[in-house]
């Protein structure tokens, strides 16, 4: 996958040293397909005098994120605002300092607001001669048609179980049996597989989610399961943001002079500090909400994989089961229900995902889903 992106960039560089260069690229693929990694490898190939050798200083700086001509952007909160996009466009207009290109790597470009997307479209329509935009999104349809029509699309797919297991075994020294389990359970998502292989807490959370279907014996159990799932997501979000929030707030307060004792300064925030602090708090709340949603969505996709395995068993499909380690539970539900019921349950989970994306209260959305999953 990465070599394919590097090869594509290498051909562009060799084929005219920029004369026929496409200035906007869109990397698409499901979670775990390596969209950002492929885009970064592409950027390294553009910067490298040898078209992406992987060993020179240019390649190394791009891959670790320190190259002065590469700016990588990732929306931290629920969306990417028009203000942030306009600031990014201004920075993108600068000339490269070391090589032929200034590269803007925009991860999760599908999270741009409508106003931000319109601003981005103008930048892509009339880019500076040495600026290249690399956008990443799950699917082309996640972006405005006017944006994707101006991009060259690179479609990626998830690697197979054996390939992911090989990476875990060789790079992380994971025993082959564990590596195979993690790769199969993660369904080709390398980062997820690595977490499952190396982190016992991640494995416990997966086991808790996959135990939900057999626990839904009544309305009370459905409400309890929903409450537990939402609370777990909230706790994960709080744990992931606590230290970062504290550090950011402390740095901002220092920037605005809190605690300073020099002449003309006081120990409180100087003018403008309160507004900046409020803006930071809003961004932090948005980031926490995003992490909570991502955690919930990950759990919902685990449930989808469970019922997908049940459906495969009901039809006798000879496919690899993502949750083969709990085959007994899968077999029990496959025997006790019909394929139509399994499809209905998968639809209920997907509807819950849509509701969460539309800002429906998580507790309400998850409770409705649990009731629909009940036998």
Mean pLDDT, 10 residues at a time, the chain of 375 residues: 48 47 90 88 90 86 90 84 91 87 92 92 89 93 92 91 94 95 92 93 93 94 95 85 77 68 51 72 80 90 96 94 95 96 97 92 96 93
The pTM for the full model equals: 0.79
Q: Which long-range contacts (CB under 8 A, 24 or more apart) does 268-271 make?
A: none
Identify the pLDDT of residue 291.
85
Contact in structure between 76 and 111 (CB atoms under 8 Å): no
- Which pLDDT score, from 0 to 100, does residue 17 have? 42
Return the closest-CA partner of residue 164 out of 193, 200, 196. 193
- Given this model, what pLDDT does residue 34 score? 86
Q: Does residue 286 contact residue 77 with C-beta atoms inside 8 Å?
A: yes
Task: Answer left, alpha or beta for residue 29, where phi above 0 means left and psi between -120 and 50 means alpha.
Answer: left
Detail the DSSP E strand segments found in the chain. 24-28, 70-73, 102-106, 131-137, 152-155
C-alpha to C-alpha distance for 11 and 45, rounded to whole angstroms: 9
Distance set, CA 211 to CA 204, 226, 236, 344 (Å):
11, 13, 19, 19
Closest CA to 133 of 85, 174, 169: 85
Q: Give the contacts of 365 (CB within 8 A, at least 6 positions apart).
A: 352, 355, 356
Kindly give, in sequence order, each residue whose CB lies less than 8 Å from that of residue 329, ignoring residues fewer than 6 positions away.
210, 213, 214
């Amino acid at each position: 996958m990465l070599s394919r992106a590097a090869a594509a960039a290498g051909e562009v560089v060799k084929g005219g040293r920029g004369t026929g260069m496409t200035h906007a690229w869109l990397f698409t693929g499901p979670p775990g397909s390596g969209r950002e990694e492929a885009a970064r490898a592409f950027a390294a190939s553009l910067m490298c005098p040898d078209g992406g050798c992987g060993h020179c200083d240019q390649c190394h700086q791009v891959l670790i994120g320190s190259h002065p001509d590469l700016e990588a952007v990732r929306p931290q909160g629920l969306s990417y605002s028009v203000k942030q996009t306009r600031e990014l466009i201004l920075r993108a207009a600068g000339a490269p300092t070391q090589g032929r290109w200034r590269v803007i790597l925009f991860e999760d470009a599908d999270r741009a607001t409508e106003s931000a997307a319109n601003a981005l479209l103008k930048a892509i329509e009339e880019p500076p001669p040495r600026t290249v935009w690399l956008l990443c999104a799950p699917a082309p349809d996640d972006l405005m048609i006017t944006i994707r029509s101006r991009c060259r699309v690179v479609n990626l797919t998830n690697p197979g179980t054996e390939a992911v297991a090989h990476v875990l075994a060789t790079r992380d020294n994971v025993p082959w049996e564990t590596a195979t389990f993690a790769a199969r359970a993660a369904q080709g998502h390398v980062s997820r597989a690595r977490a499952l292989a190396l982190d016992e807490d991640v494995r416990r959370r997966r086991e808790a989610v996959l135990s939900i279907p057999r626990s839904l014996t009544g309305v009370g159990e459905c409400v309890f399961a929903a409450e537990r799932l939402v609370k777990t997501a909230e706790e994960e979000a709080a744990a992931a943001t606590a230290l970062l929030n504290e550090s950011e707030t402390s740095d901002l307060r220092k920037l605005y002079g809190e605690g300073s004792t020099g002449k003309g300064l006081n120990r409180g925030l100087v003018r403008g500090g309160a507004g900046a602090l409020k803006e930071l708090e809003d961004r932090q709340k948005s980031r926490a909400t995003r992490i909570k949603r991502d955690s919930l969505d990950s759990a919902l996709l685990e449930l989808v994989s469970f019922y997908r395995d049940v459906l495969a068993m009901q039809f006798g499909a000879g496919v690899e089961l993502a949750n083969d380690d709990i085959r007994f539970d899968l077999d029990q539900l496959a025997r006790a229900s019909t394929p139509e019921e399994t499809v209905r349950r998968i639809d209920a989970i997907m509807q819950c995902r849509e509701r969460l994306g539309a800002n429906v209260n998580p507790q309400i959305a998850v409770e409705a889903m649990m009731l629909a999953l009940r036998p």
